[in-house]
Structure 1
Amino acid sequence: MPIGVVLRKAPGVTRWAQWCWRAVAVLPGAGPADWRELRREGDTVEFHAATVTLELHGADTEAYLHGLMAQVPSIYVVLRDSGEPGDCPLEVTLVTASPYEAQDYTDSGEEIVEKVAMPPGLMAWVQDFVNEFHVEEEFVKRKRDKKRIDLVEDGIGDARIAQVADVYRSPRSKRGRLQ
């Protein structure tokens, strides 16, 4: 599904950050856009920054279900610094409904991950996908076997040495040289 991403540019609150950029909304089914201005109030501007495709995968239904059961079901927008100064310093990399995938993008510190409330229509679409493809997997606790593996010391020392005092020493010939 194509998802439009709305970014808000507001004046920064410190002298070190001139502008504060935030993802504030998503537009399900949006057409293509390239930093189209939607609204302006003083210095605050909202842009339809980009339209990217939201893909759902059958293997990730547990993550989607987890996200839908949150107090505020959300869509996650992954942003990256575009390296271009000016009015469009961020590049929309990805939108995902999986909180697990969003968390993976926070690990590197290279991307900015914004959490945006999911609109009701998009929530219904994701829920329908989960209802159709989710298979509940029963948790199976691993059981330990009763075999004792600490009784035999395999691979320690050289088997040609009959003495147990120093199992790590090298074998010597009768004349005191290595074989």
Structure 2
Amino acid sequence: MTSPHPSVQVAVVMRQERIQGAMSRWQTWRWVLDDVVPQEDAFGSEPRCLYRDEHGQRWLHPGFTVELFSDDAEGYYLNATTPAPCWFVLWRMEEEAALSDEPVARPQIVTLSYHDAGRWLDAQETVEQVPAPAAVVAWLQAFVDEHHVPEPKRRQRPQSFKPLLDRFGNPASVTTAKKYGGGHG
């Protein structure tokens, strides 16, 4: 079944690496996002370990569809117009031994939207990013050019017309009259 939305198929590569320095006293290994690559038929559909040695391991997770939705054009615009546009990957640790006899990082979803990544981070999810290749950035920019409508700039009211408020948001007043103290005498 094909999607009515522009989409691209990708695979995610996760890497387990040994932690160096003082932090290694508490945790000897960590998982990190290594790359997002174009999906290839040879990858199959199941995650698999690409290599494992005393320095770490690398896993390929194929079969992710990244779709672009016109109602999130602002999120794509924010990504496409940064100095380093990127893929965002939400991943979780898979504790049960479905893939390996030890916990493995398992990507859940891949996006090009800043808004999606922001919502996931707000929900305390693990989200990492890697640079998107030039061809993907060009594809994303073409979508943004077609669908993004900048919000109209609203005229900002001059500061002199804003009511004076105290730090609690209550109306405040300024006076030069002496409020307390003794008189002159």
TM-score (norm 2): 0.67
Q: Which residue of 1 aligns with 2:26?
A: 16
Q: What are the Cα deviations for residues 19-46 of structure 1, in whole angstroms up to 9, with x where unaligned? A: 2111121112344443333356752322
Where do 1:147-166 residues align within 5 Å?
Answer: none
Residues in 2 aligned to 1:43 and 1:33: alpha-carbon distance in whole angstroms: 26
C-alpha contact (below 8 Å) 1:33/1:48 kept by paired residues = no
CA-atom RMSD in angstroms? 2.3
Q: Which amino acid aligns with 1:20?
A: R
Q: Which secondary structure state, in structure 1, belongs to the residue aligned with residue 150 of structure 2?
A: coil
Where do 1:1-179 residues align within 5 Å?
Answer: 1-13=8-20, 14-31=24-41, 32-39=44-51, 42-85=54-97, 86-87=101-102, 89-109=104-124, 111-140=125-154
CA shift for structure 1 position 132 = 2.0
Residues in 1 aligned to 2:92 and 2:82: alpha-carbon distance in whole angstroms: 26
Q: What are the Cα deviations for residues 69-128 of structure 1, in whole angstroms up to 9, with x where unaligned? A: 21211110000222225355222111111112101111222x210111111221122112
Equivalent pairs counted in the alignment come to 142
C-alpha contact (below 8 Å) 1:50/1:92 kept by paired residues = no
Q: Which amino acid aligns with 2:14?
A: L
Q: Which secondary structure state, in structure 1, belongs to the residue aligned with residue 73 of structure 2?
A: helix
Q: Which amino acid aligns with 1:17?
A: Q
Q: Specify every segment of 5 or more residues in structure 2 that has no aligned partner in the other structure, as ranges.
A: 1-7, 158-185
C-alpha contact (below 8 Å) 2:18/2:56 kept by paired residues = yes
Q: Percent identity?
A: 29
The more displaced of 37-46 and 131-140 is 37-46
Higher helix share: 2
Residues in 2 aligned to 1:88 and 1:5: alpha-carbon distance in whole angstroms: 17
